[in-house]
Amino acid sequence: MLRWMILKPTALIYKIEDIVTCIQDETEGVPIRTVKSFMTKIPSVVTGTDIVQWLMKNLSIEDPVEAMHIGTLIAAQGYFFPISDHVLSLKDDGAFYRFQAPYFWPSNCWEPENTDYAIYLCKRTMQNKTRLELADYEAENLARLQRAFARKWEFIYMQAEAQVKIDRKKDKTERKILDSQERAFWDVHRPVPGCVNTTEMDIRKCRRMKNPHRVKKSVYGLVEEGTQSQSPTHTPSHLCRKGTKEDVEKEILFLNTQLDRHCLKMSKVAESLISYTEQYMEYDPFITAPEPSNPWTSDDPSLWDLENSIREPSQQRVKKWGFSLEEALKDPVGQDLFLKFLESEFSSENLRFWLAVQDLKRIPQQEVAQRAQDIWAEFLAEGAPSSINLDSHSYERTSQNLKDPGRYSYEDAQDHIYKLMKSDSYTRFLRSNVYQDLLMAKKKVNVSNGMRLLHHILLF
């Protein structure tokens, strides 16, 4: 399946245009003809089916659905269009399609301004033909543009009149074709709401058009300044800051801290990253199939139900708690088990302190000051009920911080306690019976079941 639609005018757009040229070829292309309808003639059209057939034959596509899809992608770029619809797509039916004039092809790098669009809509209202009546969204667009261009509307009106004069000079059939091509051009650049627009740039990059091919030229040959882009105006982002002496001094400070940093050797870094991925490979569903199954693959959400159940953590999950203290604490079940273990050793105050400080960092700002005081009272004050062991330096720092309590008042203390837990209680936890039992998935055999099994064996 070919997917080569790219928006920049690269070699691929020209390839598409080669195809579009071939498809219109007099001998090898689709049958483009004038169709008689009621009292009128429809010039230069071809049916959707003809296009689909041609695409299948000449691009070696077996499936008509795929041919329609590719045709729709080409239509969305504006190379051909249904004559009776603003939505640019290709259907395998008897509806009529027309090819776009090369003048309007995307390779010309059109990025028409709203002034051009205003002129177009204005001109449509001047021509008394039912087929040129504005659709609802076009009428809305026109109203919006009239407000936006209020001050230069006279200019726009005059340009529209000039365009109408030029159009009148052309013969009837030519006008029918050109009108529809012009409409299709605007269907690409100002699409029906709800359509996916193929031409728009990422609005975040709009202001900074770096592509030199994109020349701002008017569809109607206007030479104008002060053009506006389609997206609403917004405050321009901060331009390059001039380097003041302060800025440079700050930069020097920053660079000095950078220099002081100890860089780890690339080989060590690589080793560490490799071993991390190897350790976690079995926990990566893209690499190791999860048990019982990946809900997205099997359509069975039981894996999620199992994960949420707190009574039966899987062996694999328990193993992960042994990777690091971080992993044990990250999992609420692991955290709970570690806490229970510490309680059994009457040393749970460290973990409770750590959890309280984590919580402090997330509660609403107005509760912070009070909670910080509560933590002090519970864990650090003289005679505190859950007294933790801090070195004097951290203790001093923390009590200073508490003069102006904030979310991060306990950072140093928390770091210290974490290191303590990691080197002491955590390692003992991993060796403990509660952890090892879960890890080895030792299950107590149900006595009555055991008897039934024995009975069964004895009978047979």
If one asks whether residue 205 binds other proteins (CB under 8 A), the answer comes out as yes
Q: Which stretch binds other proteins (CB under 8 A): 47-55, 115-123, 291-299, 430-438?
A: 291-299
Q: Binding pattern to other proteins, positions 43-82, x when CB under 8 A?
A: ------------------------------x---------
Q: Which of 28, 85, 251, 424 binds other proteins (CB under 8 A)?
A: 251
Q: For the window 297-316, what string marks contact with other proteins as x by the rule CB under 8 A?
A: x---x-xx--x---------
> Of the two residues 361 and 442, which places its CB atom closer to other proteins in the complex?
361
Binds other proteins by CB under 8 A, chosen from 147, 234, 444, 455: 234
How many residues sit in the footprint of other proteins (CB under 8 A)? Answer: 80
Interface pick for other proteins out of 24, 53, 146, 198 (rule CB under 8 A): 198
- Residue in 166, 255, 451, 454 binding other proteins, rule: CB under 8 A: 255
Report, in Å, the least distance between residue 303 CB and other proteins. 8
Please, what is the minimum distance in Å from the beta carbon of residue 444 to other proteins?
30
Q: Does 270 bind other proteins (CB under 8 A)?
A: yes
Q: Terminal CA-to-CA distance of the chain, rounded, Å?
A: 63
Q: Within positions 401 to 420, which residues make up the interface with other proteins, using CB under 8 A?
A: 407-408, 411
Inter-residue contact 420 to 350 (CB < 8 Å): yes
Would you say 42 or 375 has its CB closer to other proteins? Answer: 375
Nearer to other proteins, 258 or 448 (CB): 258
Examine residue 254 and tell whether it contacts other proteins (CB under 8 A): yes
Contacts 24+ apart (CB under 8 A), 340-348: 340/434, 341/425, 341/429, 341/432, 341/434, 341/435, 342/425, 342/429, 345/425, 345/428, 347/425, 348/386
Select the residue interacting with other proteins from 27, 130, 237, 433 (CB under 8 A): 237
DSSP annotation of 417: H
Q: How far is the CB of 65 from other proteins (least distance, A)?
A: 14
- Residues numbered 144 to 183 that lie near other proteins (CB under 8 A) are none
Strand partners, 41: 36
**Phi/psi class of residue 44: alpha, beta or left (left: φ > 0; alpha: ψ in -120 to 50)?**
left
> What token pair was written down for 263?
């860089």
- Smallest separation, CB 140 to other proteins (Å): 14
Taking the CA of residue 440 as centre, how many other CA atoms within 13 Å lie in the half-sphere pointing to its CB?
10
Q: Please give the structure tokens belonging to residue 171.
A: 């013969």
Q: What is the CA radius of gyration of the chain?
A: 36
Q: What's the residue count for the chain? A: 460
Q: Does 261 bind other proteins (CB under 8 A)?
A: yes
Q: Considering beta carbons, is residue 335 or 387 the nearer one to other proteins?
A: 335
| Cis peptide upstream of residue 191 (ω within 30 degrees of 0) | no
Burial class (CB in 10 A: 0-12, 13-18, 19+), 161: middle
Task: Enter the tokens of residue 284.
Answer: 């990566």
Minimum CB–partner distance for residue 252 and other proteins (Å): 6
Cα dist. 437→112, 218, 308, 348 in Å?
71, 77, 21, 21
- 3-state class of 26 per DSSP? coil
Contact with other proteins (CB under 8 A) among 36, 129, 238, 311 = 238
Q: Minimum distance from CB of 323 to other proteins (Å)? A: 11
Burial status of residue 137 (CB atoms within 10 A of its CB: 0-12, 13-18, 19 or more): middle
Interface residue with other proteins, options 287, 381, 440, 441 (CB under 8 A): 287
Residues 111-150 that bind other proteins (CB under 8 A): none
Least distance CB 403 / other proteins (angstroms): 17
Q: Is 286 in the site for other proteins (CB under 8 A)?
A: yes
Applying CB under 8 A, among 143, 209, 274, 440 the residue interacting with other proteins is 274
C-beta separation of 453 from 460 below 8 A = no
Q: Is 264 in the site for other proteins (CB under 8 A)?
A: yes
Collect all residues with Cβ–Cβ distance below 8 Å to 6 and sequence separation of at least 6: 12, 13
79 vs 305: CA distance, rounded Å? 52
Shortest distance (Å) from residue 144 CB to other proteins: 14
- Interaction pattern, residues 1-20, with other proteins; x per rule: CB under 8 A: x-x-xxx--x----------
Residue 39 touches other proteins, criterion: CB under 8 A: no
Q: Which residues contact 435 (CB under 8 A, 6 or more apart)?
A: 318, 321, 322, 337, 341, 429
**Given the rule CB under 8 A, which of 39-47, 141-149, 202-210, 331-339 is the region that contacts other proteins?**
202-210
Q: Which of 168, 265, 403, 455 binds other proteins (CB under 8 A)?
A: 265
Q: Is 241 in the site for other proteins (CB under 8 A)?
A: yes
Q: CB under 8 Å to 280, separation ≥6 — which residues?
A: none
292 binds other proteins (CB under 8 A): no
